[in-house]
Amino acid sequence: MYKVMIVDDEQLTRSFLKTMIPKLSPNWQVVGEASDGSEACALLAAGSYDLVITDIKMPIMDGIALCETIYLNFPHIVTVILSGYGEFEYAKKAIRYGVSNYLLKPIVNSELQAMLNEIATVLDQKESSNLEYLKLVQLSSRYKEDIGTNLLQAIVSQSHVQIKSLFPLLYQLDINLMDEEGVILVLQQSYAASLSKSTSVNAALTKLLIYQTALQALKGTHGKVFLDATGNTLVYLPLTQNDNLRKSVFQVHNSISSIFDQTLSVELNTYVGSVETDILQLSLSYENANNAILQAMFASKKTPVTFYLDSLSSTLIEQLHNLLATLMYALNSHDTVTTKLTTDNLLEFATNHLSSWATTHFTVYVLDYLCQNLSLDNVNTHEVINLSEGIELIETMMNKPLLDNQAENTLVSKVKDYILNHYDEPISLSLIADVLSVSPSYLSNLFHESVGQSYIKYLTDVRMKQASLLLLNDKSMTLEEITKKVGYISVKHFSYVFKKHFNMTTSEYKNG
């Protein structure tokens, strides 16, 4: 049953409509009447209405002013005006205030009935749509946790299709994964234990037990637990500037490790990636957590928790990266001699500098690194235990010539164009690399060398510039609207990045 209010200074008209409306259309019930606009406003503030039928000319407050008030303060209410033939030009002014229909006096029953039925049909459809939407939201709300972890999994695996589909749900379901900062942890069984012949539990089962243990230990916390493509357990740990990174990480490690040790009596290692301020940059945190695994192999002693070193200042790690860079260049150039010499150098490097427990992992790391940076995704390196054989397998799959300088300049321009056209979307460098059919690592280095800043810094600068323009040029736009228009999920996170970028709050920037 829909509710209607009748507003007319003529008692006779009000009585007629009050009697006829329920007879002509049983969907409607007259629950309010007023003799002018001011009385109607008082009733609107105190009750609930679906339709207001109002006369045009009335004392104190006329129908045009009432329609404007309803339009501004009660936009869900449908308005219909009553007018005489001589008032029609005057009544047309009400169109600007969303008036849906009008009735000419004297009122014809058939016209009144048709109008009521038409409005009821529209309201029925709207109510049905609202109910369906509410059902969808309620259903989706049950899976908020799954949606959050699925998005994180898509980010670290760089699944751009999934990111595109899941990202909008963060707004619809009010899922906030990051207020200020976040970091990815990779959990693995100790390499010494995994290579030990006395270990009775196979690697696949051990990975599953690590995952289940992490879920149990972090239940009820803000941390998110999920798996990467290789079955390793990842933990996403949201942080604030007030959090102590080491303390927070060790709390997570100790809570998981204590349960895991009791289950298998096996040591658990935690590798900590870089702290990031953009949710989509967690793929970089994940990459650096894997780099921390590499760093641990060259450490003077084994520790259960290894933090990624931002500067990568270790001479051994720099030497390894130089060897890998040379090898990638040789593979891209189809230089078989340099490929063979560099492979031999890598084998010598491993013999001279790696602990025995790290040799197998070193082989897997090198082959994974090459496949990722050479955009090869169909080589199962984990089944290859001989470094030379693995590199020979990769060498046979290479057929891409190096890009010339002109193509490189074009690539940088295309990256800038893509950012400028998509900065309000969930974009990442790996997505752009996919679009341009090049390696993410190559594109990252090329962009940084050509532009003088990293991709994420350039993207943040573009987003902050647009945010500043919106703040200064559109005073009516809310902070929530600006947040979404520049590609951020939560107002709190956007405000944090804005203040860090401009060294002032959005309010200070807008008012000063």
Per-domain boundaries in the chain: 2-138, 144-313, 317-397, 405-511
- Which tops the pLDDT comparison, 136 or 275? 275
Can you give the pLDDT at residue 423?
85
Q: Which of 238, 243, 241 is nearest to 221 (CA)?
A: 238
Can you give the pLDDT at residue 134?
62
Fold agreement between 144-313 and 405-511: no
- Which tops the pLDDT comparison, 72 or 312? 72
Q: Which of 42-56, 96-110, 265-279, 425-439 has the lowest mean pLDDT?
A: 96-110
Can you give the pLDDT at residue 194?
43
Can you give the pLDDT at residue 32?
94
User: 57-62, long-range: CB within 8 Å, 24+ apart, which pairs?
Assistant: 57/9, 57/87, 57/90, 58/7, 58/8, 58/9, 59/9, 60/36, 61/36, 61/37, 62/36, 62/37
For residues 379 and 70, give the distance between their C-alpha atoms in angstroms, rounded to a whole number. 66
- Tens of pLDDT, residue by residue over 98-120, are 787 888 888 889 989 998 998 88
- Which tops the pLDDT comparison, 69 or 512? 69
Residue 86: is its pLDDT beyond 70?
A: no
Pairing of strands 224-227, 268-272: unpaired
CATH architecture designation of domain 144-313: 2-Layer Sandwich (3.30)
Q: At what angle do helices 37-46 and 63-73 cross, to 10 degrees?
A: 20
* Helices and strands per DSSP (H, E), number in the chain: 22, 10
Residue 363: is its pLDDT beyond 90?
A: no
Q: State mean pLDDT over 178-199.
A: 71
Q: State mean pLDDT over 392-401.
A: 69
- What CATH class has 2-138? alpha beta
CATH 1.10.1740.10 is right for the domain spanning 405-511 = no
Which range, 192-196, 402-406, 439-443, has the best average confidence (pLDDT)? Answer: 439-443
Name the helix (H) or strand (E) containing 307: strand 305-307
Residue 391: is its pLDDT beyond 70?
A: yes
User: Structure tokens of 253?
Assistant: 């490690």
Give the number of C-alpha atoms closer than 13 A to the C-alpha of residue 43, restricted to the C-beta side. Answer: 21
Which range, 49-63, 122-136, 398-412, has the best average confidence (pLDDT)? Answer: 49-63
Mean pLDDT estimate for the chain = 82
Can you give the pLDDT at residue 491?
92
What is the 3-class SS of 61-104, one letter each residue? Answer: CCHHHHHHHHHHHCCCCEEEEEECHHHHHHHHHHHHHCCCEEEE
